[in-house]
Amino acid sequence: MSCAMLLQCRHSCKKGNRLLRMLATSYSSFVKDKAYINGSWVAAANGNTFSVINPANEELIGTVPDMGIQETQSAIDAAHVAFDTWRKTTAKERSAILKKWFSLIESNKTSLAELLTKEQGKSMADSIAEVTYGASFFEWFSEEAKRVYGEIMPPSTADRRLLIMKQPIGVAGIITPWNFPIAMITRKLGAALAVGCTAVIKPAEDTPLSALAICQLGEEAGLPAGVVNVITTSSKNTSDVGKLLCESPRVATISFTGSTKVGKILLSQSASTVKRVSLELGGNAPFIVFDSANIDKAVTGAMACKFRCAGQTCICANRFLVQDVIYDEFVKRLAEAIKNQLVVGNGLDEGVNIGPLINEAAVNKVDDFVTDAVKKGATKIVGGNKNSLGKNFYEPTLLVNVTTDMECMKDEIFGPVAVIIKFKTEAEAIKIANSTDVGLAGYFYSQDLGQVWRVAEELQVGMVGANESLLSAAEVSFGGVKQSGLGREGGKFGVDEYLEMKYICMGGI
């Protein structure tokens, strides 16, 4: 999503959160207590369920089926059968369904955003932005459906014709995270459906309701039975369900967004069937501020990049690297912005822009990072403690005097904690930035044109924000290098993960 789009969403939400909630009286119509298999809303075979809890106040939002191997196999079988028909539909037919689905999401944006805030905890501004972003993938891929082109090559002999055609790969197993429960489904699913694949979706156990809500709208858009299936499962059954998706010969590809640790497990399990795998894994994004930077813009970018979704995004700034000449000034301005601009609370409350973390374990992990840093010499400038609002809240935090041996520099923080390290030269900044085994996103601010080109080329990441901190959009490719994943999502290359190339040699011409 563009910076302008996100800021517009946040501005409109800030002006009228209360009005938005009044309009969103129908969010409860999206709260399902069944999963979706082969065009039907179904319970678990054994009747088991698990609860979906609002992380802001620990209130029960709803219950969903706790499904396992049996239901997952049924979903795979349904998708396998549906593929034989869906792959033969025209690109125009698939495009029409995706366009209608996009329109339905747009017209239900406020209701979906309220459900998302209740389920995940992010502010209404962030939820509105995610729903808008998520819908954009269905709009984008509705057009890309018509642009899957083959090629004809000149032959070496006159009696042959050589051509390449692209065909849908088959059933896609889609495993999505809790931090963007709508957008991570639409980014994968839109591409898969556009080219003729079917899907089995396993949403995160913390946020299954948003996935079911999107599925409900897909049904209204005219999606045939079996083309999309959603399996809801608790953490107890997650590993078994994931293993079956990876090892089933009827599943042609796995698309996963989540931690590097889990991604490696899924990659290993998929090897048994030599399955296509696309992975969007963890990051440890550097955010470099050079002495030539516009400090005001750098601070604005830092706030948007670090604290969106309470710092729980895979591409948020994790390590701030600031050149020594402007270090003190940048720290001063960032501290002021954190104190004056961030309001912690229930994401549904007016003015709140920092919600809870997803659960208490996430809070404890963030607090351990801060404790380790302070023990090793870091200084708390702002925050640095668990918040009294509830067990899932953590104070927006700024740490300085940070060094490379601290855990917060080595691992992804995934919380509202900004850590700043000082550097002297461009070469030093690049060395620190590239010192990790992951490489998803990286950011830097500089007004030196030569430096902009050099640093953009030298950063070992899949995506670079140069004087820009909000870089996601449906029309561009999203993905990382090193242990941050395989493949790309979104943009014109997003469909490639769901296509096979077939070479045809015609003789006797």
* Active site residue ranges: 280, 314
Distance CA(176)–CA(131), nearest Å, equals 15
Distance CA(76)–CA(161), nearest Å, equals 38
Give alpha helix (H) positions in 227-259.
Answer: 235-247
Residue 319, H or E segment: strand 317-323
> For residue 221, which amino acid is it?
A
Instruction: Give the other-Cβ count within 10 Å of 330's Cβ.
Output: 23
Length of the chain: 509
Phi and psi at residue 10, in whole multiples of 5°?
Answer: -65, -40
Those residues with Cβ within 8 angstroms of residue 222's Cβ, 6 or more apart along the chain or in another chain: 96, 97, 100
Residue 505, H or E segment: strand 499-506
Q: Which residues pair with 354 in a beta bridge?
A: 344
Whether residue 215 contacts residue 42, with contact meaning beta carbons closer than 8 Å, is answered with no
Instruction: Give the other-Cβ count within 10 Å of 360's Cβ.
Output: 15
Q: Which residues pair with 485 in a beta bridge?
A: 280
Whether residue 384 contacts residue 339, with contact meaning beta carbons closer than 8 Å, is answered with no
Nearest to 203 by CA among 179, 181, 180, 236: 181
Distance CA(194)–CA(139), nearest Å, equals 10
Distance CA(433)–CA(439), nearest Å, equals 9
Distance CA(197)–CA(474), nearest Å, equals 19
Residue 65, H or E segment: strand 60-65
